[in-house]
Amino acid sequence: MELQTKKLNAHITHLFILISLTLLFSCSGHKKPNMKNRFEMEKQKIIEEWDIDGNGIINCMDQSLKRRQQFTQSDLDKNNFLDVKEFRMAPWGSAAFAAEYLSSYDQNNDSLVSLSEFENKPDPFFVRLDKNQDCIVSDDEIKKMRPNRRMRKRT
């Protein structure tokens, strides 16, 4: 009986803490981030993903480093080539269109994609980001990219 009372008291204590925290956070005046803060958050996510060299600027060197990372991560058998199976499993690709993706990269038609073949084709996301093709992604280019990203998420 005493053990059940202790368990019940522990549950009541946990429930009280949970309710207190809920009330505290709901009354703290937490506001949704304004548009500027949302942009800064989105920009930060893009920089974290694409600023591979860590200099705070997304440029063509970052694209090249990103492509190398993607290739290395996708080369499951570590033979320095990507085949259709690896394209199918790649997180940056589409399993349904793996053969088409491979053929768009495969310059010598050997059904394998080397690192140089992979790096020679610009990343489609980087191309969309770098609208003026100056190899530096500016804040304005990221802002222009935002509506396309929202539309893509909704479909």
In the chain, the amino acid numbered 150 is R
Segment 129-155 shows an average pLDDT of: 73
Tokens standing for residue 23: 């009330």
- Encode pLDDT of 5-44 as tens digits: 655 556 566 655 667 666 666 655 555 556 678 888 888 8
Q: What is the pTM of this model?
A: 0.65
**Residue 25 CB neighbours (<10 A):** 9
Contact of 118 with 111, CB cutoff 8 Å = no
Segment 45-57 shows an average pLDDT of: 91
Statement: residue 154 has pLDDT above 50: no
Which residues are within 8 A (CB) of 65 and not within 5 positions of it... i.e. 6 or more apart?
52, 53
In the chain, the amino acid numbered 86 is E
Distance CA 102, CA 105 (A): 5
Domain ranges of the chain: 1-30, 33-154
Give me the CATH code for the 33-154 domain, please.
Answer: 1.10.238.10
